[in-house]
Amino acid sequence: MSVTKPTPQKTFLIYEALVLLFMGQKIERENLHFKLVEILEHPNLHSESIVLMSLFKLLFSLLSKIGIHDLTLIDITHPRRKSITRILSALINFAKFREEHLMVFDECTLKTDQAIEQARILEDRNLQLAEKVNTLALKREEQKPAVEKLQKLNSALATDLIELQKIQKNLTTEVEKLRNTKVDLEAKLTNINLSFTSAKQECERIRSRIVANPEKLEHAIKDMNSNVISTKQFVTDLELKSRKLGKKLEMLSVIEHEIFGCVKIMEECQEDVKEFKILKIKNVKCKEDIEIYKQEKKDIGIKQQQGQRQLTGCNDRIQRLMFHQTQKQDSLDKSIELLMSNYLVSLEEEKKVQLELEKDQCYVDELERLIIEREKECENQENDLCQKIILLNEHLESYQNYISSGFKFHKLSNSSNIA
């Protein structure tokens, strides 16, 4: 298609191809026809208009994002060289700008994906830690009655242990006293037995020798026998007391064994209390980790907002560049129109002034030369535009993937902002 002589059909095809390459959207004529059949009575009369409006809607959306907001249906149905040149220049400049900033866009996209992945990992870890904390809290609540019961039992056992230790100490002191008394009494009993034996022997010896006063002797013997009997009774009482003390010692040994068992239970309770304190410390550490992860998530959100602000600044810069390009193109069109008006004036002067033909011929030749140069420049511009369109067609397929990834990034950023 020639830019100087555009036709509506070729312009429509070019705009349709550009919309497909830049936005990845194709006008589905068959689907539109089926929809028209369902809605309108005579769809054939409106099919071309509906296709034209669909293209206009997509092209207007594309050019509005680039910076051209004054697109009309006349630019498609009755295209002009000025409007086509402006639209194609804007698209080419946008493609160049996007190619220049593609590395920054890829880097931002990669960082955003990494930040989103890291945020997802942190959220999963946060959920796991929260679940772990809840489990520990439930376990703690479940074990709390048992711990309180063990603490009460431990306190009661400690009190009983102190009382039993006091009783054991008193009984041990009493047993030692009784043992010492038993030893003394056994020594006395031995001495008494020896004295009794020696006295008996002495009595026998004396009885064999002296029988002068048998009544006194019998009375003395009875006294000695009564003393011996009382001594034996005292010894018997001491033996009973010693047996009772032995039984008490056995009971004390049993109590001591039970006390050792209680002490072991107390040690186990203390170990449980230590484990509970360790779990409590771990719970506090988990809460601190959760706070750290929340702070990291907040920092990631701030970085995303900074990236969004940078992207907004880039879009503003694109709009300013497009505005300057439009001003330059308008000034160029004005200069061309001025030259054409000068050329027409020269032709009128040529008709009116035949006598000064030779003098004005040089001026006309100069103007024709300028016109030829302008035409060559227009042809060169047309060739450049064709080459740029070819390059644009080659690059737009790769740009389409990046645009789709940019849309995904925009959706993800919107969803993250909503969250």
Where do the domains of the chain lie, and which CATH numbers do they carry?
A: 1-79 (no CATH), 133-293 (1.10.287.1490)
- Which whole number is the average pLDDT over 268-276? 71
**Position 342 pLDDT exceeds 70:** no
**Position 43 pLDDT exceeds 70:** no
**Position 39 pLDDT exceeds 70:** no
Tell me which of 249-253, 323-327, 344-348 is least confident. Answer: 344-348
Neighbours of 279 (CB within 10 A): 15
Tokens of 137: 């809290």
**Position 313 pLDDT exceeds 50:** yes
Residue of 142, 172, 175, 299 lying closest to 242 (CA atoms)? 175
Tokens of 217: 């002797």
Per residue in 84-143, pLDDT (tens digit) is 888 888 888 888 887 887 788 788 888 888 888 888 898 888 888 888 888 888 888 888
Neighbours of 98 (CB within 10 A): 19
Please give the Cα distance from 343 to 365 (Å, whole number): 11
Tell me which of 69-78, 154-163, 291-300 is least confident. Answer: 291-300
Question: Quick check: helix, strand or coil at residue 78?
Answer: coil
How close are the terminal C-alpha atoms of the chain, in Å?
A: 50
Residue of 170, 128, 315, 180 lying closest to 255 (CA atoms)? 170
**Position 317 pLDDT exceeds 70:** no
Alpha carbon 321 to chain centroid distance? 41
For residue 256, give the amino acid letter: E
Residue of 387, 339, 399 lying closest to 3 (CA atoms)? 387
pLDDT given at position 195: 78
> CB-based burial of residue 321 (10 Å sphere; 0-12 exposed, 13-18 middle, 19+ buried)?
middle
Please give the Cα distance from 214 to 206 (Å, whole number): 11
Q: Which residue has the higher pLDDT, 359 or 204?
A: 204
Please give the Cα distance from 281 to 276 (Å, whole number): 9
pLDDT given at position 34: 45
Tokens of 414: 């919107």
Per residue in 153-162, pLDDT (tens digit) is 888 888 888 8
Query: Could you tell me if 11 and 89 are in contact, meaning their C-beta atoms sit under 8 angstroms apart?
Result: no
Alpha carbon 38 to chain centroid distance? 51
> What torsion do the CA atoms of 411, 415, 416, 419 make, to the nearest 10 degrees?
180
Neighbours of 315 (CB within 10 A): 13
Q: How confident is the model at residue 335 (pLDDT cuts 50, 70, 90)?
A: low
Beta strand residue intervals within 2-161, DSSP E: none
Q: How confident is the model at residue 37 (pLDDT cuts 50, 70, 90)?
A: very low
Residue of 120, 109, 415 lying closest to 297 (CA atoms)? 120
pLDDT given at position 414: 56
What average pLDDT is seen over the chain? Answer: 74
Please give the Cα distance from 311 to 111 (Å, whole number): 14
- Which whole number is the average pLDDT over 26-33? 57
Please give the Cα distance from 65 to 316 (Å, whole number): 11
Query: Could you tell me if 182 and 238 are in contact, meaning their C-beta atoms sit under 8 angstroms apart?
Result: yes
Half-sphere exposure for 24 (CA within 13 Å, toward CB)? 11
User: Helix crossing, 102-209 with 214-352: angle to 10°?
Assistant: 180
Tell me the H-state helices in 67-101. 74-77, 81-100
pLDDT given at position 419: 47
Please give the Cα distance from 54 to 59 (Å, whole number): 9
Q: How confident is the model at residue 82 (pLDDT cuts 50, 70, 90)?
A: confident
DSSP 8-state class, residue 356: T
**Nearest 5°: CA angle at 317, between 313 and 323?**
145
- Which whole number is the average pLDDT over 177-181? 83
Question: Quick check: helix, strand or coil at residue 73?
Answer: coil
